[in-house]
Amino acid sequence: MAQMMIEYLGKPEIDALALTKDEILSAVEQGLVAAGRGQTVIEPRMHLTPDPSFNGHFNVLRGYVAPLDYAGVKIVGDFVDNYKQGLPSELALLNLFCPRTGAPRAVIDAAGITDMRTGALTALGAKWLGPKKPKVLGHLGARGTSYWNVALLDHLFDFEEIRVHSRRPESREAFADKLSRDLGKKIVVTEDWESCLKDADILVEATRLNEPTPMFDRSWVKKGAFVVPYGTMSTLPLNFVEGIDKFVMDDLGQMRAGHLGALRPHIAAGLITEDSFYAEIGEIAAGLKPGRESDDETILFWHRGMSTSDIALGAAILEKARAGGIVQDLVYRNE
């Protein structure tokens, strides 16, 4: 057997690539289209909690994207108190494999991939399911994925008003300052949930609660709005599902698995079943089902994170890095 190598990309290499917003959106959309066409395998995420006192857990996402010829596993830590140590709450690695032999091909820092692909999924969902010309974005949460939610949504829609809120004043102020610099527009920092979300055209909830807490009032959602709640712990009261015209899921396997997520209490209470969902987002991306069909549809998109999005974006990053000659080759085996 010849020497086997693994391609490696750390955060410095990925930062040097300076992926454009369009490159991020295009890569994730490619993965969604493959999913809609039945060219992927997505295993529901698994969780590992080493010790409840650590206030965090690992998510393990597994998938296969046939058009890209990669199988992949991403392991991402989600530790709420990391900010106290000056660390991001989410740190991750993406491992890409040959789907035919199981040979490892690449190891890629995936903290940024997680943030970018999550934001891309939110933005692409809004592209197909949101109002035609949304003017106001309300965004709850300031964790890593939040930046790309707002940046990619604004890239598509150029909002007249962006409101943000998070639990800690210092985090929401810093979040708004960065967004204002990068987007070149004023960001409204709100003091509470209601002033952030009420009557916005697009409402995104990406909070970090320690336990499910019904804080997102259904009355704040106007007719025709697009709602994306994806906090790990549900913030939605049981009546939140009333009057929603379409429920869309990233992958229904993730609706069936696990104990976390925005709609988990509603599933447990029998208010939401698999039949409640209009479509998976891949079906819409592939043109198999229409997205928004009228201005007055109120649509909820629940995404829990697709392994295939990680693989698709990781593959695009790896391809660009190869072209730029910045991939590190590591010896895996000498035979």
Query: Are the C-beta atoms of residues 4 and 335 closer than 8 Å to each other?
Result: yes
For residues 259 and 198, which has the higher predicted lDDT (pLDDT)? 198
Helix (H, G, I), strand (E, B) or coil at 314: helix
pLDDT of residue 1: 62
Rounded Cα distance, 143 and 150, in Å:
12
Sketch out the chain's domains with CATH numbers: 4-113+308-333 (3.30.1780.10), 120-305 (3.40.50.720)
| Residue 176 DSSP class | H
pLDDT of residue 88: 87
Helix (H, G, I), strand (E, B) or coil at 282: helix
Convert the pLDDT of each residue in 115-126 to its tens digit: 999 999 999 999
pLDDT of residue 258: 73
pLDDT of residue 147: 96
Range with the lowest mean pLDDT among 48-52, 88-92, 265-269?
88-92
122-143: burial string, b at 16+ Cβ within 10 Å, e else = bbbbbbbbbbeebebbbbbbbb
pLDDT of residue 326: 95
Q: In the beta sheet, which residues pair with residue 84?
A: none
Instruction: Tell me how far apart the 2 most distant CA atoms of the chain are, in Å.
Output: 65
pLDDT at 176 over 80: yes
pLDDT of residue 121: 97
DSSP code per residue over 205-231: E----SS----S-GGGS-TT-EEEE--
In percent, the amount of the chain with pLDDT more than 90 equals: 89
pLDDT at 317 over 80: yes
pLDDT of residue 318: 97
Question: Burial, 214: exposed, middle or buried (Cβ in 10 Å; 0-12, 13-18, 19+)?
Answer: middle
| Residue 239 DSSP class | G
- Give the dihedral sign, CA 73/79/84/88: positive
Convert the pLDDT of each residue in 35-84 to its tens digit: 999 999 999 888 899 999 999 999 999 999 999 999 999 999 989 899 89
Range with the lowest mean pLDDT among 16-30, 77-91, 189-203?
77-91
The tokens describing 171, both together, are 């985090």
DSSP code per residue over 58-126: EEEEEEEEGGGTEEEEEEEEEEGGGGGGT--SEEEEEEEE-TTT--EEEEEE-HHHHHHHHHHHHHHHH
